[in-house]
Structure 1
Amino acid sequence: MSAPEIAPPDDDDRATAQQSDEGRSEPTPSGTAPPPVAGDRALTPPTDALSHEQKHLARARAALRAMRQDTESLNISDVATNWVNAAVLARDIDARVASLADLPGSPLFFGRIDFLHGYADIGDRFYIGRRHVHDTDGDPLVVDWRAPVSRPFYSASKTDPMDVSMRRRFGYTNGDLSAYEDEHLTDPSESAHSSALLQAEIERPRVGPMRDIVATIQPEQDTIVRTDVDDTVCVQGAPGTGKTAVGLHRVAYLLYAHRKRLARTGTLVVGPNDSFLHYIAQVLPSLGESEVRQATVDELTHHALLTSGGKLKGTESAASAKLKGDARMAEVLRRAVYSGVRKPEEPLVVSRGIRRWRIPVEELSRFVDELLERGFHYNAGREALPLRVGHAILTRVEKTGETADSTMERTVTRNVAVKAFVNSCWPAVDPAKLVLRLLSEPAFLAEHADGIFTAEEQKEILWETPGRGVRSAKWSGVDAVLVDEATSLVARSASVGHLVLDEAQDLSAMEYRALGRRCATGTATILGDLAQGTTPWATTSWEEAMRHLGKPGAVVEELTDGFRVPREVIAYASRLLPQIAPTLKEATSIRDAAGRFAVRERSADELDAAVVEACREALAHEGTVGLIASDDRIPALTTALRAAGLTHLAPGEDTSPQTRLTLAPAPLTKGLEYDYVVLDEPAAVVAAEPDPSTGLRRLYVALTRAVSGLTVVHSAPLPEALR
């Protein structure tokens, strides 16, 4: 095997490790509790092997501290040539110091792989962890999970061992290495089996923000994570399949493999709301990546309007919002933006000194036509037009034998007559004012929507009360997306090297276009679930969505193996799939634990008390509890919880061992998870949406937020599929 660019453990360590492995079959010392088992394999190793692994962990932690201290002690006073370079270098060093933190609750390594043949001069054993750690000689004590040599830890199997003789997973208790579990991939006497440590990590109670999944990434997930940086991937993932984590870990992998490229172009993670971003905020820093920008869809698409002085204070009907989010609006806006471009009606005369230069109408018209045909952004065309005029005059001057240069050409572009010509033929456009006219003036909309929207659709698009100005108009969120589109027609949008978009199924075509512009020169990872679309314009086809995004060649991957939602819960929720997403495969759960599951019917008078009791029962177990209800039920439940003395949080607030209950309106739970979910009155969740299909998808989302248990409490009849 060819050697990767990493060094081996030293010979003494290798000898000690081999001796420990030979003692693998020793019995557990007397006087200790019997170890947990997976099949017929003990998780807790003999004391000598466990001691060896603990010593290696201690050595790795000491080496990480030394790496951090070495970085902190760097003296850059005589390195940088100016204060700008010094500031950049200091920032890079600070980021490096932060990435070398030994984070509590994040063990330095979680696995080990032993190769059959090894690598020349560097050994056959590698510890896999969240970051690279080396000793003073540069030899690796821990290999980054993203390194090529680490891939077999995730992908090797009994059928394809990838030259791995043994894979070892480690278990930790309060940060201390307390157990391990081995798989002998080339031993024919050992059959394939599930991992008890893997199950334990997946089912570990959730408290606080989302955790990384580097210790539990599955082969199909790892394939997506390591997809090439030049490829856009769309992940259709059922609840609990880890699609959000896959997207975040792909960012971490790409930053490892293509750091210089992405440092130059930037990376961006986009989520549906602030609560969601708060929930996932610690995943990338825990993997050593702290420079990735995070934003909501609204933050990006509303920026152009807000900077123009507009305020979001309007509401939108579902019918109007659906039309404004339709991809047809892009052509209406394009027509409107370029509607001011006019052919010249008279020649242009430019005076320079005692000479006057005349450009005929036909030549000026040709300039305008050529710029329109080339498809420039509006402002780029407006800037190019005077340059064409300047070049035409420069050519005329040269033909007379006079001396001419580029300075003269630039001077001509600033000529009063030239400026007047440009303003008359290619006038400036204010995107917000343009959209204001479209939404306020029936004749202006009719002119540019002719043949695109019917007269009835145009009436739906128009505001009931015409806006008098950008600042005074009652803009809605979907109106802001139109302003963003118009702004991009006027001037090119900035593009990042890679964009991750989560909960993408809820976006309109116009929102896809807006986000596609943010990665026009880069690639994207799109994450979503068609069954969880809860907007009137929800995505029904990923292929169509990728066309709107500007990535028609994107590969669509489907994840159906669930790791989060218990078997009984996902089976119960999947009864809704034939109605809400008949083309999708039913999700399955690989978890051994079926989870706690109950459906309780009570009278309307008993409903609040029954919900409070279900919350008490859930809080008796370890982990977070989410009480999910329709918006109109939140006030009553708030009162009931306070009367019962149960303190609770709002979505997005950090849970703690003292406060583990969150009262969550159903629309804000997408992308979140709780160890236990108490679902109040499913019929009310369905009824709160504008149509039954959207309501059932909202219910599907609420049902699948549970990690360990679900209790449904209702008084009204359940949807037929759930009865």
Structure 2
Amino acid sequence: MVEKEEVIRAEETARLSEVLGVIDRRLFKELSVLGDRRGDVVGIRQEFFDDVSFNFSDATELGETWSSIVQQAELLAERERSHRVASTAVERLAWQHDNPYFARIDFVEEGAGNPVESIYIGRSSLIGEDGETFYIYDWRAPVSSLFYDGEPGPVSYETPSGSIRGSMTLKRQFVIRGGQLKHVFDTDETIGDDILQAVLSERSDTSMKSIVATIQKEQNRIIRDEKHKLLVVQGAAGSGKTSAALQRVAYLLYRYRETLTPDQVVLFSPNPVFKGYVSRVLPDLGEANMRQMTFRELIESRLGRRWEVEDLFEQTEELAAASGTAEGDSREAAARYKGSEHFFATVRNYLERLKKQGVRFRPLRFRGDTIVSTEEMSAKYYGDFAQEDFGDRLIKLRKWLNERLNAWIESQIGETWLEEAAELADDEDIQRVYVQIRKQGGFHDEAFDDEDRMTDLLKRRVAENSIAPLRKAVKGFRFMDPMATYRELFRSRTLFTACAPDGKLPPKYEWMAMRADETLGRKTIDYEDATPLLFVMEALEGFRKVEGEVKHLFVDEAQDYSPFQAAFLKRRFPHARLTVLGDFNQAIYAQAEESGGFGGWTRLVPEEETAVWRLTTSYRSTRPIVEFSKRILKPEDAANITPFNRDGEEPSVLSCRDNNELAERVAKRAEELLAAGYATIGIIAKTAVECGDASALIKERLSEETPVTLVTGGSAKLPPGISILPSYLSKGIEFDAVIVWDASAEKYGREQDRKLLYTVCTRALHVLDVYFAGEPSPLLSFERKEAHS
């Protein structure tokens, strides 16, 4: 047996050496090209205008000068493109040299006389200098699916031209680091446990890694699904759902590289920290990053410029502060209802009524005088333009308002204020008017009215400058008042019940109406009102911001999106196929508590065009951490979570007298973990307010050299060392070690806190310590507590 292993290792080492030789020769060639192109670019930039002949004596010479400039610009652009291509090739070959491939399968196609082909699989393909020899196949190639889905014996794989059948005679995996063969495994499994154990036991980083070498069979189905318009992935914490989704993006960009660009793929991330965390995955696979945004950024881009908008984290903090009070209970009920399908249907019915009456407008005023009243706008909107759709009505109304502004300027020409303003015109305005008249043939011997024309033009220019803000408002449709229009829905019980699909008012309607009148009245927007208000605004504008060019929409932590938000995104990205990922057990926000899992998503697309995949094996954490975290959940919710068999130390639950002792012990433990070689340590408190207090207490107990960062909602990158962050910012992120700050009955005492505490604990890869001050959370009642010392 040992002798056979030595023969295999010698054979594979020789083959690796051959491949590295090919890579080295290609790298030398590309480096030479890169140097030449860099020199070309620098030279052209330095000598750009030396090679252009300037002559402006007449129109012909001017045209030739312009043509010369264009030719130089095109030459520079071509050299810059060549430089970028060579630079990308060098980068790819460099990481290929470090880890060229991770698997080999031997395959013989069905049919007499077909040879056995050894297929090596890596992150990117490598073709020989003859243009025909495949040294490495890209993991996304059709034949590579045999490695992820098949086992030795009869197999088949799908290609664009049909199914290929044959037999797999060998399945082998490698661990290659720094161009050195570390391990070789022959296996009958999709991914051998030995490989997984090696990869999962590695220390964490501040960025998510590619999983192409360890993709599981069930993940591969998600990655390569091209049939369904909606993919729903329910995955346990640490089951690799986000990683699979990012590999799916890379696969789609490879599979449809002639028709799909990164700009046509959008990923909604749960927070800015997560955006930075996953930003390296696609570049490491040789693909440009897709567009990333958070739902908060979408809201801010449309509403934040005009009004003060609360975000999800601010809402969460406010609900936590008001927990257990009548105000807090009412706010939670409002958040749940305004995210519901019932409210979406109500708003949609309201929009139907708005086609006939009810849209609110803002008057155009200048110095206290009304140029166009809201009554005039409404009469036009529901009169002459009544047969048009919302968007067309608004465009026609905008054109009419500009005509009214033109007419108003004409009416002001003889007014005293305008004459006085024209007399005070600055030199720049006078010069511009003079040039305009000269272009029109003025100021020559036969001209006799040039002074009058100048005065008239100056007046018009002054009048136009005076109403420039009104022109800008009209251009941006700000004469329409979406906030007042939305607010009306809560001002009339009769109107609301008429729009409600079941003709009923929701619970807490009176409180919601009072709250809407208060907040919207002062031009501030609660988070639960932001999406409905934006939906009303964009519907009235004709959905002019709809992103119809987007072909694939990915939504991570989809369980945190309300059904209303899901329906809104479907409307905003009308042609996109959807991939939504999440975990019911990590639904921590009020708006999603009663959403029925992924029901808000699955009801958007016909059942026959929907696939629901479940990932039950948790790979992130050690078995002891997974088993500990499962016991926080209700038994029925934990039943389908299976830990991968990776051993580790048992989680600790540790008692403290008060926050001072808590800070002492947490600071000491964090430094011990850093000294033990753990690169990323997350100290996770429930809220941002608690994080601020914890940070102050911990930092004064740490040495100045200890790397510690307070992570906030605006943070875009997860730093190495110790991170102190609130629970809701930890979603989707993993740490070598997690320290839970104060899992006491006071902080995690309600049933609503169960999933939040579970989410926090499942961030840990290798070490989990749970501290509490005072009484422990009842959610930890299964665990024997350490006696206070």
| Band of TM-score, shorter chain | 0.7 to 0.9
Change (3 A) 1:679 1:154: same
> Does 1:633 find its partner at 2:633?
no
Change (3 A) 1:381 1:440: closer
The match for 1:147 among 141, 153, 156 is 141
2:427 alignment partner in structure 1: none
1:360 alignment partner in structure 2: none
2:625 alignment partner in structure 1: 569
Could you report, residue by residue, the CA deviation over 1:43-73 in whole angstroms, capped at 9, with x for unpaired residues?
A: xx64564244244234235435646766897
1:706 alignment partner in structure 2: 764
> Does 1:454 find its partner at 2:505?
yes
Shift of 1:458: 3.5
Name which of structure 1's ranges 553-562 and 54-63 shifts more when overlaid on structure 2.
54-63
Could you report, residue by residue, the CA deviation over 1:311-345 in whole angstroms, capped at 9, with x for unpaired residues?
A: 225976323322322233334433444545449xx
Do the aligned residues in 2 keep the contact of 1:515 with 1:549 (CA within 8 Å)? no
Q: Which amino acid aligns with 1:302?
A: E
Q: In structure 1, what is the Cα distance between the partners aligned to 2:351 and 2:671?
A: 59
* Mapping 1:248-397, distance limit 5 Å: 248-263=246-261, 266-307=264-305, 309-312=306-309, 317-342=331-356, 378-380=390-392
Q: In structure 1, what is the Cα distance between the partners aligned to 2:227 and 2:626?
A: 33
> Does 1:164 find its partner at 2:168?
yes
Q: In structure 2, what is the Cα distance between the partners aligned to 1:274 and 1:257?
A: 29
Q: In structure 2, what is the Cα distance between the partners aligned to 1:192 and 1:555?
A: 22
> Does 1:494 find its partner at 2:547?
yes
> Does 1:115 find its partner at 2:165?
no
> Does 1:515 find its partner at 2:569?
yes
Could you report, residue by residue, the CA deviation over 1:371-405 in whole angstroms, capped at 9, with x for unpaired residues?
A: 6xxxx5x214767999xxxxxxxxxxxxxxxxxxx
Change (3 A) 1:94 1:719: farther
1:546 alignment partner in structure 2: 601
Q: In structure 2, what is the Cα distance between the partners aligned to 1:286 and 1:264?
A: 15
Q: In structure 1, what is the Cα distance between the partners aligned to 2:708 and 2:17?
A: 40
Change (3 A) 1:94 1:670: farther
1:555 alignment partner in structure 2: 611
1:35 alignment partner in structure 2: none
Q: In structure 2, what is the Cα distance between the partners aligned to 1:130 and 1:60?
A: 14
1:666 alignment partner in structure 2: 727
Could you report, residue by residue, the CA deviation over 1:59-111 in whole angstroms, capped at 9, with x for unpaired residues?
A: 23543564676689789999xx9999999978876764564323876744332
1:206 alignment partner in structure 2: 204
Do the aligned residues in 1 keep the contact of 2:567 with 2:601 (CA within 8 Å)? no
Q: Which amino acid aligns with 1:152?
A: L
Q: In structure 1, what is the Cα distance between the partners aligned to 2:685 and 2:154?
A: 47
Q: Which amino acid aligns with 1:564?
A: R
1:598 alignment partner in structure 2: 652
1:126 alignment partner in structure 2: 119
1:188 alignment partner in structure 2: none
Shift of 1:459: 2.7
Do the aligned residues in 1 keep the contact of 2:299 with 2:530 (CA within 8 Å)? yes
Q: In structure 1, what is the Cα distance between the partners aligned to 2:78 and 2:555?
A: 31
Q: In structure 2, what is the Cα distance between the partners aligned to 1:497 and 1:85?
A: 32
Change (3 A) 1:152 1:685: farther
TM, length-normalised to structure 2: 0.68
Change (3 A) 1:709 1:551: farther
Change (3 A) 1:86 1:498: farther
Identity %: 22
> Does 1:183 find its partner at 2:242?
no
Do the aligned residues in 1 keep the contact of 2:273 with 2:718 (CA within 8 Å)? no
1:350 alignment partner in structure 2: none
Change (3 A) 1:334 1:451: closer
1:215 alignment partner in structure 2: 213
Could you report, residue by residue, the CA deviation over 1:110-148 in whole angstroms, capped at 9, with x for unpaired residues?
A: 323232426999971222111122232113222111001
Do the aligned residues in 2 keep the contact of 1:513 with 1:548 (CA within 8 Å)? no
Gaps of 5+ in 1: 1-20, 28-44, 186-190, 344-363, 387-427
Whose Rg is larger?
2
Shift of 1:560: 0.5
Gaps of 5+ in 2: 45-66, 157-166, 316-330, 358-380, 399-475, 784-789
Change (3 A) 1:533 1:91: farther
SS in 1 for 2:752: helix
Q: In structure 2, what is the Cα distance between the partners aligned to 1:71 and 1:444?
A: 69
1:615 alignment partner in structure 2: 670
2:777 alignment partner in structure 1: 718
Change (3 A) 1:599 1:487: same
Shift of 1:274: 0.3
Change (3 A) 1:598 1:583: closer
Shift of 1:698: 0.6
Do the aligned residues in 2 keep the contact of 1:573 with 1:700 (CA within 8 Å)? yes
TM, length-normalised to structure 1: 0.73
Q: In structure 2, what is the Cα distance between the partners aligned to 1:497 and 1:336?
A: 30
Q: In structure 1, what is the Cα distance between the partners aligned to 2:649 and 2:245?
A: 27
SS in 2 for 1:600: strand
Do the aligned residues in 1 keep the contact of 2:263 with 2:291 (CA within 8 Å)? no
Do the aligned residues in 2 keep the contact of 1:133 with 1:141 (CA within 8 Å)? yes
Shift of 1:520: 2.0
Aligned length: 605
Q: Which amino acid aligns with 2:694?
A: L
Change (3 A) 1:87 1:501: farther
1:53 alignment partner in structure 2: 16
2:364 alignment partner in structure 1: none
* Mapping 1:235-250, distance limit 5 Å: 235-250=233-248
Could you report, residue by residue, the CA deviation over 1:263-290 in whole angstroms, capped at 9, with x for unpaired residues?
A: 2970001111101111111111111121
Do the aligned residues in 1 keep the contact of 2:92 with 2:286 (CA within 8 Å)? no
> Does 1:436 find its partner at 2:492?
no
Q: In structure 2, what is the Cα distance between the partners aligned to 1:336 and 1:84?
A: 55
Do the aligned residues in 1 keep the contact of 2:275 with 2:716 (CA within 8 Å)? no
SS in 2 for 1:215: helix
Do the aligned residues in 1 keep the contact of 2:239 with 2:616 (CA within 8 Å)? yes
Q: In structure 2, what is the Cα distance between the partners aligned to 1:241 and 1:86?
A: 50
Could you report, residue by residue, the CA deviation over 1:213-255 in whole angstroms, capped at 9, with x for unpaired residues?
A: 1111111111111111653210000011000001111111111
1:650 alignment partner in structure 2: 710
Do the aligned residues in 2 keep the contact of 1:63 with 1:133 (CA within 8 Å)? no
Could you report, residue by residue, the CA deviation over 1:645-674 in whole angstroms, capped at 9, with x for unpaired residues?
A: 143123457567xx5211122121111100
Q: In structure 2, what is the Cα distance between the partners aligned to 1:103 and 1:628?
A: 40
Q: In structure 2, what is the Cα distance between the partners aligned to 1:519 and 1:543?
A: 18
Structure number having the greater helix percentage: 2
Q: In structure 2, what is the Cα distance between the partners aligned to 1:548 and 1:512?
A: 10
Do the aligned residues in 2 keep the contact of 1:431 with 1:483 (CA within 8 Å)? no
What is the alpha-carbon root mean square deviation over aligned residues? Answer: 4.1
Q: In structure 1, what is the Cα distance between the partners aligned to 2:558 and 2:507?
A: 30
2:446 alignment partner in structure 1: none
1:424 alignment partner in structure 2: none
Q: Which amino acid aligns with 2:19?
A: H
